[in-house]
Amino acid sequence: MSTDARALIPAARRVVVKVGSSSISGESSQKIGPIVEAIAEAHGRGTEIVLVSSGAIATGMPFLSLDERPSDLATQQAAAAVGQNILIYRYQAALRPFEIVAGQVLLTAGDLENATPRSNARRAMDRLLGLRILPVVNENDTVATHEIRFGDNDRLAAMVAQLIGAEALVLLSDIDCLYTRPPDEPGAEPIFEVAYGDELAGFEFGSVVVNSVGTGGAATKVSAARIAAASGIGVLVTSADLVVDALRGSSVGTWFHPKR
Is 153 within any annotated ligand binding site?
yes
Is 18 marked within a binding site? Answer: yes
Quick one: pLDDT at residue 2? 46
The confidence score (pLDDT) of residue 201 equals: 79
pLDDT at 152 over 80: no
Residue 114 known to bind ligand: no
State the pLDDT at residue 96. Answer: 98
Asked whether the predicted pLDDT for residue 148 surpasses 70, the reply is no
Mean pLDDT within 225-242:
96
Whether the predicted pLDDT of 1 surpasses 70: no
85 is in an annotated binding site: no
User: 3-class secondary structure for the chain?
Assistant: CCCCCCCHHHHCCEEEEEECHHHHCHHHHHHHHHHHHHHHHHHHCCCEEEEEECCHHHHHHHHHCCCCCCCCHHHHHHHHHHHHHHHHHHHHHHHHHHCCCEEEEEECHHHHHCHHHHHHHHHHHHHHHHCCCEEEEEECCCCCCCCCCCCHHHHHHHHHHHHHCCCEEEEEECCCCEECCCCCCCCCCEECEECCCCCCCCCCCCCCEECCCCEECHHHHHHHHHHHHCCCCEEEEEEHHHHHHHHHCCCCCEEECCCC
Asked whether residue 221 is marked as a ligand-binding residue, the answer is no
**Does the model's pTM come out above 0.85?**
yes
Instruction: Name all domains of the chain by residue range, CATH numbers in brackets.
Output: 8-256 (3.40.1160.10)
Mean local confidence (pLDDT), 100-112: 90
pLDDT attached to residue 113 = 84
Q: What is the mean pLDDT of residues 197-219?
A: 66
At residue 212 the predicted structure's pLDDT band, cuts being 50, 70 and 90, is very low
pLDDT, average across residues 156-166: 96
Q: Is 54 annotated as a binding residue?
A: yes
